[in-house]
Each structure stands twice: as structure tokens, then as C-alpha cells.
């Protein structure tokens, strides 16, 4: 069993969970696999907690650990497909991870610009109140059509977040 970590470390790690999950998911493009790797990554992070130098870039440190967990997953005999090494390498060049907090704040504002219907749909989808399948059945729409509406909302939110960050 892993040893106990300090409150501060737990707080840092907790606050970083969405970013670590995002980092992994972007590279393995599979929700279940991303969750498994997140779990392994968290364990390694806690085991190595003493290696972390307070005041240094925590996110960069945990992303390195996550990166190695993704690579080790790929080397397993029964490994599931994920993005190619080359693509993963290219994704690592981006700096998206550093502004996630700002994106979260911008999202809050952008959600207010959505129509009531779209806001309710996205809220229900992400608060786990229904699955796309359930909503499709209830609303008489095809699942594919519901996915497309959700995609359009995400697309417009992404655009809005980008604009807000550029304004700031």
C-alpha cells in the first residue's frame, strides 16, 4: 500500500485531476483506458511524493509521470490501441495544460451565452442525469442527432472560451 501524503500534496493532486485525466485521454482516446491509466498514475504520483520539490511546476512533474504510464500501457502484451507515438509526440509540443484553470473560468461565462435549451441539454449530459441514448428515446430523436447537437454546443463553447482567453 502506498504511504500517506501530506494535505498540501493531496490538495495539489486533487486540483490537478481533470488536467491529468485530460492529458491522458487526449493521447489514448478511450474513456475507460484513460481512467485506468489515471488510477495507475495517481498511485505512482503518491509513491513518488517525496521526489516532488515544492515550488516547482507540479503539473509538469505529474504529466511526466502520466506520460510514462501511457508508454508502459502501450508496451503491455494485450495493449489497446491509442494514438501513435508520433502523434503523442506532436501533442506534447502544445502548451494547453497550463491554462486549464483559465478555461474553467471562461467556461462559466460562456455557458451563460447558450440558449436555455442548449444549456439544459449540456447540463443534463454532464451532470449524469441522462445518457444520450435515454435522451434520444425521450425526445424521439436519433442518437446520432443528439450527439451532433451536443457536439455543436461543445464546438461553440470551445470557440467562446478561446475568444475569452484571447480577450484576457
Partner 1 sequence: MNSEERNKLEELLATLMESALSDSEQKELDQILQSSDEARDYYNDYIDTHIALDWHFGDQSLDLPSGLEPMINQPPEKKTLKFIAPILALAAILTLVFVLPKTEKPDESNLAQKDYTLLKSVSANWDKNQNFKVGDGFEKGKHSLKSGYCEISNGKGVKLIVEGPAEFDLVSPMKVKLEKGTIVAAVEEEGIGFQVDTPKTNVVDLGTEFGVSVQENGDTEVHVLDGKVETITGSNKKLINKSEATLITAKSTVAKAADAGKFMRILPEKPKEEISYIHWPLNEGQGKVSTYKGENLKDKDYDAYLKSTYANGNGPNWINGKFNKGVHFDGNGNYIETGFPGIGGAHARSVSFWVKIPKDVRTDQATSMLAWGSYLGKGRTWQVSWNWQAKDGNVGALRAGLYHGQIVGTQDLRDDKWHHIAVVMFGDGKPNVSTHILLYVDGKLEPASRKSILDVKTDIKSKKSTKVLMGRDAMAQIYGKKQHKVFKGSLDEVYIFNFALNDEQIRQLMEYNKFVK
Which residues within the stretch 70-109 sit at the binding site for partner 1 (CB under 8 A)? 81-84, 86-87, 90-91, 94, 96, 100-101, 103-105, 107-108
Neighbours of 13 (CB within 10 A): 18
What is the x/- site pattern for partner 1, positions 7-46, by CB under 8 A? xx-xxxxxx-xxx-xx--xx--xxxx--x--xxx-xx--x
Each residue of 60-89: b (16+ CB within 10 Å) or e? ebbbebbbebbeebbeeeeeeebbeeeebe
Say how many Å lie between the first and final Cα of the chain, rounded: 45
Pick the closer one to partner 1 by CB: 87 or 137.
87
What distances in angstroms separate CA 98 from CA 37, 57, 76, 84, 89, one per listed residue? 21, 10, 30, 24, 17
Shortest Å distance, C-beta 137 to partner 1: 14
Among the listed ranges 59-67, 69-77, 152-160, the one in contact with partner 1 (CB under 8 A) is: 152-160
One residue of 50, 53, 55, 166 binding partner 1 per CB under 8 A: 55
Binding of partner 1 by 139 (CB under 8 A): no
Amino acid at each position: 500500500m502506498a504511504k500517506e501524503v501530506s494535505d498540501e500534496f493531496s490538495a495539489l493532486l486533487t486540483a490537478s485531476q481533470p488536467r491529468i485525466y485530460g492529458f491522458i485521454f487526449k493521447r489514448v482516446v478511450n474513456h475507460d483506458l484513460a481512467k485506468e491509466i489515471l488510477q495507475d498514475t495517481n498511485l505512482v504520483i503518491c509513491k513518488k511524493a517525496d521526489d516532488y520539490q515544492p515550488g516547482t511546476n507540479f503539473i509538469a512533474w505529474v504529466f511526466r509521470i502520466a506520460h510514462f504510464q501511457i508508454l508502459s500501457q502501450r508496451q503491455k502484451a494485450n495493449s489497446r490501441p491509442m494514438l501513435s507515438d508520433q502523434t503523442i509526440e506532436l501533442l506534447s509540443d502544445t502548451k494547453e495544460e497550463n491554462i486549464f484553470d483559465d478555461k474553467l473560468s471562461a467556461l462559466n461565462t460562456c455557458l451563460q451565452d447558450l440558449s436555455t435549451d442548449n444549456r439544459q441539454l449540456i447540463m443534463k449530459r454532464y451532470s449524469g442525469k441522462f445518457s444520450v441514448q435515454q435522451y434520444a428515446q425521450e425526445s424521439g430523436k436519433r442518437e446520432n442527432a443528439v450527439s451532433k447537437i451536443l457536439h455543436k454546443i461543445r464546438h461553440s463553447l470551445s470557440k467562446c472560451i478561446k475568444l475569452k482567453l484571447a480577450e484576457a
